Amino acid sequence: MDTDHLTDIWGRVFGTQPPPSLWLVLVTAALALGAVVPRTAWRLSRNAVTIAHEGGHGLIALLTGRRLDGIRLHSDTSGLTVSRGKPTGLGMVLTAAAGYIAPSLLGLAGAALLAAGHITALLWGATALLLAMLVMIRNAYGVLTVVLAGAAFVLVSWLTTPQVQAVFAYAVVWFLLLGGVRPPFELQGKRRRGGAADSDPDQLARLTHVPAAVWLGLFHVVTLCSLTGGGRWLLGL
């Protein structure tokens, strides 16, 4: 591979690209909303939120020095991340707390990149994260889900025009910001009906002696604030 080609790739990935027009940004927001609000669409699109949720658990487990044994993604949109290490302490608390806020924080980071014009960098970065996650997947459905998600990013990155890439990137980030808000509300409803007795907030309550309702409230605050801040960046406000 010659130097000019490497320079071209470097400039393509780390350079800036013009954002789509405001009306296209609004269209991508509407598309993302259509994937999150209707129950039928959500049953399918929630798989992408689960990837981010379990990926958040796994990433924080590694960053806090825990050993990541594997990640499983299931067809009912649930997931499981298994890590080894000290069963208590800050590392375990951060790992347990990362799941429900991961999609929203990823969306917020993506919105920051898009606001700075780094559309291609976002697409390639997402592909790299999915590839890293694929190594830790331990079931066939999980492999299929992550491969399909990664393939979508690769195909858009290499085979489409900059305008299509921008629309795709904005739609993905809107989806993470909007989709990250719904799971805490779903969990709140399950808890109200007496379900989800071993959810992430319940595990955090046992680890910290802080009520699960407080942790659930924190998830609401993070996801809603991420949507507000990320939405303002995407709209150029």
- Is residue 15 domain-resident? no
3-state SS class at 181: coil
- Is residue 1 domain-resident? no
Classify residue 89 by its DSSP letter. Answer: S
Distance CA 60, CA 94 (A): 7
pLDDT of 237: 81
Crossing angle for the helix pair 182-192 and 90-115, to the nearest 10 degrees: 140
- Is residue 170 domain-resident? yes
Alpha-helical segments (H) within the chain: 3-14, 22-36, 39-63, 90-115, 119-134, 140-159, 162-179, 182-192, 200-208, 212-234
More confident residue, 7 or 133: 133
Phi, psi of 186 (to 5 degrees): -65, -45
Distance CA 218, CA 104 (A): 13
* Whole-structure pTM value: 0.93
- Is residue 149 domain-resident? yes
Residue 19 half-sphere exposure toward CB, CA atoms < 13 A? 20
Rg (CA), the chain: 18
- Is residue 79 domain-resident? yes
Phi, psi of 80 (to 5 degrees): -150, 130
More confident residue, 209 or 20: 209
* Overall domain count for the chain: 1
Give 66's pLDDT tier (boundaries 50, 70, 90): very high
Q: Are the C-beta atoms of 115 and 173 separated by less than 8 Å?
A: no
Give the model confidence (pLDDT) of 25-61 as tens digits. Answer: 999 999 999 999 999 999 999 999 999 999 999 999 9
| Range of the structural domain that residue 199 is part of | 20-234
- Is residue 194 domain-resident? yes
- Is residue 11 domain-resident? no
- Is residue 12 domain-resident? no
The residue written with tokens 């002696």 in the block is 209
